[in-house]
């Protein structure tokens, strides 16, 4: 089906990215285990406020993205604002679009500002897989719940219920998996299938993963992220200064030793798949006039964005192969006009599969309704400072992290430069965006 070319929004005014800030990203169940997603969000936003010296009364609203939302307090944006003692008028909403939640939060903020609904919005995302609520088995809740939470019962009632429960299956919580609810397939299995269908070799995946690590390590060394990260201190007093998953000394020989994790003779390993991560990222967005008024230098703006859906049972992670071309089309641009590309690296196999699709004439003709391929993305222009494979992937934060890094790079390159973003997401979703320097 051809990609829609509708939605050429008439903008009243432009929204600009003014700054971004995130916590260091750390492997789940590691150093940040004591901090839940709200605490991480608080840290990222606090750092953003301090970095930018933003007058608190200027904040109109917060939009936050997250995947694992605490069931007792799912509106993270509001909780973060309240924890930070922001004015009560800084209203908040939380959005969930799997791994694209962070980007979704940012684009919602941009759209609201463009419509004149707000002047200053903090948008971002966070996730703490460490603190995911682990649910009790359904049967347990349904049998025991009424007794424990409802009218209560006699000893006989309790014995009667417990007798119906299997001692292990019905009582012990099951470990959560990153699996599709509709297909039951673990995401890594879906990526493994994509690797086979798109003919992506283990060697190429490892090569790509190594590149991600090297570039991220170099970026940290060169201080590229100095304007983007603030250190975080845990309740027990430990301070983390930088992303801890990155392995600057990684090489293909080391990765080759790892065993496949999703299929017996598979190609995906822990080395070429992104890790479960805890972290948060926030972006400060304002209308152009407000930024001028408050004395901020805008870094970048959005030319376009796109969100698409694909069938989760058929190449779950191919969304960006549709959303990236759609974002380009909406921005009136071609891939060759773009200066650099930033893609979320859920799995090296997924990124490489999408690159193949973007470079295929057959794919473009059949699936995009175009005459020729979108284009070949040069690795030299892709994920310049590493990606999720090296930095980690706190689900809700990744989109905001990418926007921040891209905005800073666009600002460094100067007016006229543009970037293309692509994020795949669970549920068979894809996101894309074109950003430009301001």
Partner 1 sequence: MSDFLLDLSSNKRARATIQRLGLPIPMPESLRRGRGALVERPLHDAKVLVAGPVSGELHGVIAGTVARAGAEFGAIESAQEVAAYAEAGEAYGRPVKALPLEPTAKGRYRALVFDASTLDTAEELRALYDVVHFWIRSLDKSGRLVILGRPVSEATDVRQAGARGALEGFVRSCAKELGRKGSNATLIRVAKGAEDRVEPLLRFLLSPESAYISGQPFDLTATVKAPSAPIPRTRVLDGKAILLTGAARGIGKATAKRLAAEGAKLLLLDRPADGELLAEVANGLDGAEIVLADVTDPEAPTLIAEAARKHFGGLDGVVHNAGVTRDKTIGKMKPALWDMTLDINLAAINRINETLLDGVLRDESRIVLLSSIAGIGGNVGQTNYAASKSGVIGVTQALAPLLAKRGIAVNAIAPGFIETRLTAAIPVATREVARRLANLSQGGLPVDIAEMAVFLLSPGAFGLTGSVHRVCGGNLMGA
**Residue 66's closest CA among 121, 126, 108, 132?**
126
**C-beta of 318: minimal distance to partner 1 in Å?**
8
| Of residues 415, 420, 428, 414, the one with CA closest to residue 329 | 420
Distance in Å, CB of 188 to partner 1, minimum: 17
Q: What whole-number distance in Å separates Cα of residue 306 and Cα of residue 291? A: 26
Min separation Cβ 208 and partner 1, Å: 18
* Of 43 and 354, CB closest to partner 1: 354
Q: Which is nearer to partner 1, 349 or 410 (CB)?
A: 349
What CA–CA distance (Å, rounded) separates 380 from 378? 5
Nearer Cβ to partner 1, position 94 or 315? Answer: 315
Catalytic choice (214, 344, 408, 424): 424
Q: What are the Cα distances from residue 20, in Å, to 292, 401, 425? A: 17, 8, 22
- Token couple for 371: 């005459």
> Residues 358, 375: contact at Cβ < 8 Å?
yes
Helix residue ranges, H only, 115-201:
138-149, 155-163, 187-197
Rounded to whole angstroms, how far apart are CA atoms 75 and 260?
38
Task: Using the minimum distance from each CB to partner 1, give the nearer residue, 366 or 376.
Answer: 366
**Catalytic-residue membership of 393:** yes
What b/e string do you get for 177-210 counting C-beta neighbours within 10 Å, with b at 16 or more? Answer: ebebeeeebebbbbbbbbbeebebebebbbbbbb
CA distance to 360, 375, 419, per residue, from 372 (Å): 8, 8, 21
CA–CA separation, 100 and 431 (whole Å): 7
Whichever of 200 and 343 has its CB closer to partner 1, that residue is 200
Query: Strand pairing partners for 435?
Result: 302, 419
Would residue 214 show up in a list of annotated catalytic residues for this protein? no
CB of 368 to partner 1, least distance (A): 9
Q: Is 370 exposed, middle or buried (0-12, 13-18, 19+ CB in 10 A)?
A: middle
User: Given the complex with partner 1, which of 360 and 383 has the nearer CB atom?
Assistant: 360
**Minimum gap (Å) between residue 20 Cβ and partner 1:** 35
Task: Report the nearest approach of partner 1 to the CB of residue 185 (Å).
Answer: 12
Single out the catalytic residue among 213, 393, 408, 411. 393
**Minimum gap (Å) between residue 325 Cβ and partner 1:** 14
Give yes or no: 344 in active site.
Answer: no
Residues of this chain that interact with partner 1 (CB under 8 A) are 194, 197-199, 311, 313-315, 318, 353, 357, 360-363, 365-367
Query: Is 373 or 435 the residue whose CB approaches partner 1 more closely?
Result: 373
Q: Which of 99, 214, 344, 411 is catalytic?
A: 99
- CA dist 102 and 126 (Å) reads 8
Count of other CB atoms within 10 angstroms of residue 288: 16
Look-up of token digits 């000893």: 155
CB 419 within 8 A of CB 410: yes
Active site residues: 99, 393, 424
């Amino acid at each position: 089906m051809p990609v829609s070319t509708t939605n050429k929004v008439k903008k009243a005014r432009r929204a600009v990215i003014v700054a971004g800030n995130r916590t260091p990203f750390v492997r789940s169940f590691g150093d940040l285990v004591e901090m839940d997603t709200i605490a991480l969000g608080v840290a990222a936003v606090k750092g953003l406020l301090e970095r930018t010296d933003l007058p608190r009364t200027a904040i109109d609203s917060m939009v936050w993205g997250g995947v694992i939302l605490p069931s007792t307090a799912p509106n993270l944006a509001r909780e973060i604002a309240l924890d930070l003692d922001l004015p009560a008028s800084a209203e908040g909403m939380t959005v969930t679009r799997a791994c694209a939640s962070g980007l979704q939060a940012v684009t919602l903020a941009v759209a609201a500002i463009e419509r004149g609904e707000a002047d200053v919005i903090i948008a971002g995302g966070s996730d703490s897989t460490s603190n995911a609520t682990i649910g009790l088995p359904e049967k347990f809740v349904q049998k025991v719940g009424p007794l424990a939470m409802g009218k209560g019962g006699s000893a006989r009632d309790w014995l009667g219920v417990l007798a119906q429960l299997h001692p292990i299956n019905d009582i012990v919580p099951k470990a959560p998996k990153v699996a599709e609810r509709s297909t039951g397939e673990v995401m890594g299995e879906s990526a493994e299938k994509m690797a086979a269908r798109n003919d992506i070799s283990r060697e190429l995946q490892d090569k790509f993963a190594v590149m991600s690590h090297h570039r991220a390590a170099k970026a940290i060394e060169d201080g590229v992220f100095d304007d983007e990260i603030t250190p975080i201190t845990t309740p027990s007093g430990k301070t983390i200064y930088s992303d801890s998953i990155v392995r600057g000394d990684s090489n293909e020989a080391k990765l080759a030793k790892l065993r496949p994790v999703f299929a017996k003779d598979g190609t995906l390993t822990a080395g070429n798949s992104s890790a479960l991560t805890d972290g948060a990222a926030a972006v400060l967005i304002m209308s152009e006039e407000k930024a001028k008024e408050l004395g901020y230098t805008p870094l970048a703006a959005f030319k376009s964005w796109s969100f698409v859906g694909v069938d989760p049972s058929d190449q779950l992670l191919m969304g960006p192969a549709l959303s990236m071309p759609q974002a380009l089309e909406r921005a009136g641009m071609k891939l060759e006009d773009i200066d650099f590309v930033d893609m979320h690296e859920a799995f090296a196999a997924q990124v490489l599969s999408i690159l193949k699709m973007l470079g295929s004439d057959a794919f473009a003709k059949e699936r995009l309704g175009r005459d020729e391929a979108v284009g070949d993305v040069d690795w030299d222009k892709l994920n310049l400072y590493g990606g999720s494979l090296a930095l980690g992937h706190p689900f809700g934060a990744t989109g905001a992290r990418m926007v921040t890094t891209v905005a800073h790079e666009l600002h460094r390159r100067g007016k006229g430069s543009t970037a293309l973003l692509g994020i795949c997401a669970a549920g068979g979703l894809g996101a894309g965006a074109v950003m430009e320097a301001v």
